[in-house]
A and B are shown apart, each in its own frame.
Chain A
Amino acid sequence: MSSVTNHDERPNPDNLDDPGLSETKTERVSYLRAGHTLRSWLFTTDHKRVALLYMMSITFFFFIGGIAAAFVRADLLTPSADLMTNEGYNRAFTLHGVIMVWFFLIPSIPNTFGNFLIPLMIGARDLAFPRLNLLSWYIFILGGIFTLFVLILGGVDTGWTFYTPLSSMYANGNVVLVATAVFIVGFSSILTGLNFIVTIHKLRAPGMTWGRLPLFIWSHYATSVILVLATPVLSVTLALIAAERLFGLGIFNPELGGDPLLFQHLFWFYSHPAVYIMVLPALGVVSELVAAAARKPVFGYKFVAGSSIAIAVIGFLVWGHHMFVSGQSIYASAVFSFLSLVVAVPSGIKIYNWTATLYKGDISLDPPFLFAMGFIGLFVVGGLTGLAVAMLAIDVHLHDTYFVVAHFHYIMVGGTVSAYFGALHFWWPKIVGRLYSVVWGRLSAMFIFIGFNFTFFPQFILGYEGMPRRYHVYPEQFQVLHDMSSIGASILGIAYLMPAVYLYYSLRYGQPAGNNPWNVTGLEWTIPSPPPKHNFDEIPTVDGPPYNYPVRKEAKHA
């Protein structure tokens, strides 16, 4: 960890009379202290403050979604329906899915770390449209309020996928309200993506060429393209669902001449790329963490950067792999199966290049690195099982089983949430200006990894043996595996709460971080932590490649 000596006054954790939170000189002029009123936060256009607003809101939704998951796992402890009714169980997993996907995972890394770091990393004073950025947060909150409203009214039972004709004709819940909530939150995504694209194009500091951009920026650029091009299709689809339910539009109703599969095409045209909205920012984070841990230039920078763009583009061509058993034409299925195998290539490129970057690196086992390792392990498992379900023949057996549930949780929770925590542990000193306990950080990284595997690995076996998803009554032979999964989930839940404790402690008593506690490259580490309101006193000029660590020469053996 850092050897930065900081002569600023700081709180003394051993002195019980010290109330903590005393300020260092850097903090006094930082963005955190630029206005103390609630108003100065709610009407801020500072990208760093908007990032914190987002961070607080998505943490809140992560809790709600987590509580819904806890209900689901508790009910699955026994083969019978003893905790919830069938209807109640449907509502619990739907709520879990809707909240986790649209109110946590999609905004998780881009809207917090992306918002905070993109201007810092490219040497800009803010995003291209600061007021639009704040507006997107308000839109997000409005969508969130709608969702909470649905929760109070009793929820919805369609699953997060809103499949027709269940959602359009038979579901009892508040489908229209929840569709409205997701419709609203979509505009927040679109505005964020738009803002990022223009920022990355137009606000790079002098000398910050495309070949010098941090990989975090490349992956956020790719993410933003998906946000802008895919989200509107979801919006219009949800609007059609609402029209179908309210006015009997008929477009998804076969009795009226419509086609329920059209819904699935429209929905997955958004929702498969949406998986990459969740995972591309995570890949960007891990690229940063790996380079920082190895303290070496990233191996194959151009390939890692290009693979982000390739994932974004190819990710649009594979949605039909969700429809192999839906009755779509087998020719379409064959095309989609092939394209789904292709999209694994750029992800593989990233993994190989990370490994090569770490090779003979100067690795320190800091918490961010452990989270990055956890990410890579879980992402590889999730990715490889993804290849399995992308194969037409295998999918017929595994479709709609716990195998699929385990697969996408490995990607979205094992992958994205691990990367989110990795990012939190890496940039926390930059965001708040204080160091946290590295030991506790390492412990929570390990507990999250263990708890996660404990929860979801048994689900691969469950699914392979035929346990279908979305049922809470099951044959007794599945109980052992289900119980393992539920116990793992409680470990995972506690592990997710651990950082809240020591990060809060660091906020009050942590040692001031200094500009660059990890001794790494990147423009964001050249300015004080926490950064001043306008980031850079003078816009920096970039004159070298990213990750410009000195290359160590090995002594040749005679």
Chain B
Amino acid sequence: MKTGVLFSVWVALSALLVATVVASFFLTGIPSLAAGLSIASIKAGLVFWYFMDLRGEKGLVRLSAVVAILWLFIFFLLVAPDYLFRTV
């Protein structure tokens, strides 16, 4: 039964891969980037949650798995004002 869940996740991941490739045919610029990144985030979430089995882990392990993602987000967030508004 458990492997059944894993298999459906694999099917979902494959579908999302197809979706990201197809999206790249139709979208350009920011929408394309947004689509690529959001599909990638969903895929990464599925891998984290089901394959890495964070679903079955305690809060502590979940926290240590996502803390770096949060930190990278902070990094990007604070670099952004420089690159978006730099004048020279």
Judge A-B direct contact (beta carbons within 8 Å): yes
Chain A residues engaging chain B, CB cutoff 8 angstroms: 197, 201, 229, 233, 261, 265, 269, 316-317, 319-320, 327-332, 335-336
Which residues of the other chain, B, contact A329 by a CB distance below 8 angstroms? Answer: 81-87
With A229-B68, A332-B81, A332-B82 given, is the CB distance from A201 to B74 under 8 Å? no
Which residues of the other chain, A, contact B67 by a CB distance below 8 angstroms? Answer: 229
CB distance from A232 to the nearest CB of B (A): 9
Please state if B75 and A269 are interface contacts (CB–CB under 8 Å). yes
Does B71 touch A at the CB level, under 8 Å?
A: yes
Please state if A316 and B71 are interface contacts (CB–CB under 8 Å). yes
Which 10 pairs across A and B sit closest by C-beta, in order of nearness? Answer: A332-B82, A329-B85, A332-B81, A329-B86, A328-B82, A331-B85, A329-B82, A331-B81, A327-B88, A229-B71
Which residues of the other chain, A, contact B74 by a CB distance below 8 angstroms? Answer: 316-317
Which residues of the other chain, A, contact B82 by a CB distance below 8 angstroms? Answer: 261, 265, 320, 328-329, 331-332
A335 to B79, CA, bound (A): 11
19 A–B contacts from the bound complex (CB under 8 Å): A197-B64, A201-B60, A229-B67, A229-B71, A265-B82, A269-B75, A316-B74, A317-B74, A320-B78, A328-B86, A329-B81, A329-B82, A330-B85, A330-B87, A332-B81, A332-B85, A332-B86, A335-B81, A336-B78
Which residues of the other chain, A, contact B75 by a CB distance below 8 angstroms? Answer: 233, 269, 316
Q: Give the interface size bracket for B toward A.
A: 10 to 19
CB distance from A529 to the nearest CB of B (A): 34
Closest to B71 in A: A229
Closest to B64 in A: A197
Cβ contact of B78, chosen from A327, A330, A335, cutoff 8 A? A335
CB distance from B63 to the nearest CB of A (A): 11
CB distance from A335 to the nearest CB of B (A): 6
Task: Identify whether the interface residues of B are mostly helix, strand, loop, or mixed.
Answer: helix
Closest to A261 in B: B82
Instruction: Please provide the chain B residues from 56 to 81 with a CB less than 8 Å away from any CB of chain A in the complex.
Output: 60, 64, 67-68, 71, 74-75, 78-79, 81
Instruction: Name 17 extra pairs, CB < 8 A, besides A229-B67, A265-B79, A319-B78.
Output: A197-B64, A316-B75, A317-B74, A317-B78, A327-B86, A328-B82, A328-B86, A329-B82, A329-B84, A329-B85, A330-B85, A331-B81, A332-B78, A332-B81, A332-B82, A332-B85, A335-B78
CB distance from A33 to the nearest CB of B (A): 38
CB distance from A56 to the nearest CB of B (A): 33
A320 to B78, CA, bound (A): 9
A319 to B88, CA, bound (A): 20
Which residues of the other chain, A, contact B64 by a CB distance below 8 angstroms? Answer: 197
Closest to B74 in A: A316
Instruction: Name, among A261, A265, A328, the residue most crowded by chain B CB atoms within 10 Å (CB to CB).
Output: A328
A535 to B11, CA, bound (A): 52
A261 to B88, CA, bound (A): 12
Instruction: Name, among A269, A327, A329, A331, the residue most crowded by chain B CB atoms within 10 Å (CB to CB).
Output: A329
A241 to B60, CA, bound (A): 36
Closest to B67 in A: A229
CB distance from A514 to the nearest CB of B (A): 39
Closest to B68 in A: A229
Which residues of the other chain, B, contact A265 by a CB distance below 8 angstroms? Answer: 79, 82
A328 to B83, CA, bound (A): 8
Which residues of the other chain, B, contact A327 by a CB distance below 8 angstroms? Answer: 86, 88
Which residues of the other chain, B, contact A197 by a CB distance below 8 angstroms? Answer: 64
A169 to B85, CA, bound (A): 27
CB distance from B48 to the nearest CB of A (A): 18
Instruction: Name, among B68, B71, B78, B88, the residue most crowded by chain A CB atoms within 10 Å (CB to CB).
Output: B78
Closest to A316 in B: B74
Instruction: Please provide the chain B residues from 22 to 68 with a CB less than 8 Å away from any CB of chain A in the complex.
Output: 60, 64, 67-68
Closest to A228 in B: B68
CB distance from B65 to the nearest CB of A (A): 13
A331 to B78, CA, bound (A): 11
Which residues of the other chain, A, contact B79 by a CB distance below 8 angstroms? Answer: 265
Closest to B60 in A: A201
CB distance from A457 to the nearest CB of B (A): 34
CB distance from B79 to the nearest CB of A (A): 5
Which residues of the other chain, B, contact A269 by a CB distance below 8 angstroms? Answer: 75
A265 to B87, CA, bound (A): 17
A336 to B77, CA, bound (A): 12
CB distance from A234 to the nearest CB of B (A): 13
CB distance from A193 to the nearest CB of B (A): 12
A316 to B88, CA, bound (A): 26
CB distance from B87 to the nearest CB of A (A): 7
A161 to B79, CA, bound (A): 19
A201 to B85, CA, bound (A): 42
A386 to B84, CA, bound (A): 28
Which residues of the other chain, A, contact B60 by a CB distance below 8 angstroms? Answer: 201
Which residues of the other chain, B, contact A320 by a CB distance below 8 angstroms? Answer: 78, 82
A418 to B55, CA, bound (A): 47
Which residues of the other chain, A, contact B84 by a CB distance below 8 angstroms? Answer: 329
Which residues of the other chain, B, contact A330 by a CB distance below 8 angstroms? Answer: 85, 87
CB distance from B61 to the nearest CB of A (A): 10
Instruction: Name, among B60, B64, B68, the residue most crowded by chain A CB atoms within 10 Å (CB to CB).
Output: B64
Closest to A336 in B: B78
Closest to B78 in A: A317
A327 to B83, CA, bound (A): 11
Closest to A318 in B: B78
CB distance from A71 to the nearest CB of B (A): 37
A316 to B78, CA, bound (A): 10
